[in-house]
Structure 1
Amino acid sequence: MKDTAWGFVFFIVLLTVASCNKKDEHSLGEFHIDIATVIPMGENGYMLMLDNGKQLWPAATDVHYLPVGNYQRVFVNYTTLSDEQGGYDHYVKVNDIWNILTKKVIEQTSQNADSIGHDPVKINEAWVGNDYLNIDFMFNYGGVRPHAINLVIDSLHPDKAPDTLELEFRHNAYGSSSPKFFEGFICFDLKPLQRADTDSVQLTVKAKDEDGEKIFNVVYRYNQAALQNKIAETPIPVVASNEYY
């Protein structure tokens, strides 16, 4: 399964690079793959907000997709059909769309400390886009039961640095001892972490992998589009929602 998964990732990367080299942006043979936030519109409609701030209207689609709740994060494969039109940056045709596990940051307490878990988990990369923390990670899924993945604020040990919000990326493997590592992707809503006295906050994200604790420092600038398109640099991982929650 691991070889198949990485083969799929390599295939997606090749297709993404190929699409970037094409000259006719609105050709039906041209496509892009991006991370987006689904914003429900009306009863069953939706628009897509890319992490660079661009808004896409799905004027056509090859897949049946219904928004699940508010502000679901997705990987979207799309073809642009127009330039700016109707208040949107592009009308697009949605070729495919995959939900990304999207969660809120939780508070660690004495009651939930054990269920959050302390099992190893490796962060490949972490960055902020459109008020969400995106984390590409590896975990040793063993097939026993879905694993728990969370981002927590430790209320039992207050932050030592007043200008920095310390977070922990936590993993509960529920007893799985499998040596096989699988790649996952998850997004955490950062909007509840905003403070009224500033327009940004420094985040310190800690994760414990097999080699010890690793720290990622990220600046969260409120309501600001990502400065660059990270998906162009990071391969889309194999996302299997039944492997973690």
Structure 2
Amino acid sequence: MKKLVKLFSVLFFCGVLALGISSCSNDDGHSLGDFYLSWATTNDEGRTFMLDDKDSTTLFVSATSTNYQPKNKRVVINFTILSDQYNGYDHLIKLNGYVADVLTKNVIYLDPNDQAQQDSIGNDPIEIKGIWEGGGYLNIKFAYLTANQNPHLVNLISTKPDKSVTDDVVELEFRHNREGDPQNYMTEGLVSFDLAPYRKEGRDTVAFKIKVKLSDTETKIYDIEYKYGKP
């Protein structure tokens, strides 16, 4: 039986005693005062989520304080486990009013000789707060300077027409276009890139090298290993 022993994000406990609220446990031993925060993928089969943990733990929403409905998107959710093993799902949960949609995109091809496309994609510096594979996606938490006047664009690009899908070592670049937005204060964002095209028969691991321009003078390569065929 699968156990929710490791979420990508942290397990934290709210200050229920400080608020004068007593915490209690259900029959499965889960405390109703325990809150989990995790990246997940929704689907359209109902009120369901799949977590970015080792076992692809599945959740069914029984109660919620939000009107959010699953819609085939990447999200970050705050939830409490109510019970285990419900109708084929690993856990029955309550959503605690926090569902953050995550920008979800595909890797795109960038023609090195197409100046118009180069300008559109941009090559402005961006700060990386975290970069990892989870749930079959390359997930990036990033930060950038803004005045919130123009929308910023982020993309994951390949300079090969096939997007390097057959390469054992895939070289990609995370690109940022601030669209001329003034750089007044720092803000953060989240994005997930679908790695499904890189799952190939005959191999169970693919290595990614992700190039990022951190400043006008510094570029960094992040090594990411996607073990989609291994436990």
Within 5 Å, give how 1:95-134 maps onto structure 2: 95-96=96-97, 97-109=99-111, 110=114, 112-134=117-139
Instruction: Using structure 2 for the length normalisation, give the TM-score.
Output: 0.79
| Unmatched runs of 5 consecutive residues or more in structure 2 | 1-8, 15-22
Q: How far off is 1:205 after superposition?
A: 0.5
- Structure with greater proportional strand content: 2
Aligned with 1:30 (options 25, 30, 34): 34
CA distance in 2, matches of 1:167, 1:142: 29
1:148 is aligned to 153
Deviations 1:64-95 (A, max 9, x none): 11233x3x111111111102222111100111
Deviations 1:37-83 (A, max 9, x none): 00110xxx231100111110111111111233x3x111111111102
The 3 A distance-change label for structure 1 pair 165 and 108 is same
SS at the partner of 2:119? helix
Runs of 4+ off more than 6 Å = none
2:12 is aligned to 17
- Structure with greater proportional helix content: 1
1:60 is aligned to 63
The reply on whether 1:138 has 2:160 as its aligned counterpart is no
Q: How far off is 1:215 after superposition?
A: 0.9
Greater RCO (Cα-Cα under 8 Å, separation 6 or more): 1
Instruction: Using structure 1 for the length normalisation, give the TM-score.
Output: 0.75
The reply on whether 1:174 has 2:179 as its aligned counterpart is yes
Q: Cα RMSD (Å) of the superposition?
A: 2.5
Within 5 Å, give how 1:29-48 maps onto structure 2: 29-41=33-45, 45-48=46-49
SS at the partner of 1:197? coil
CA distance in 2, matches of 1:33, 1:199: 29
| Unmatched runs of 5 consecutive residues or more in structure 1 | 1-12, 226-245
Count matched residues: 203
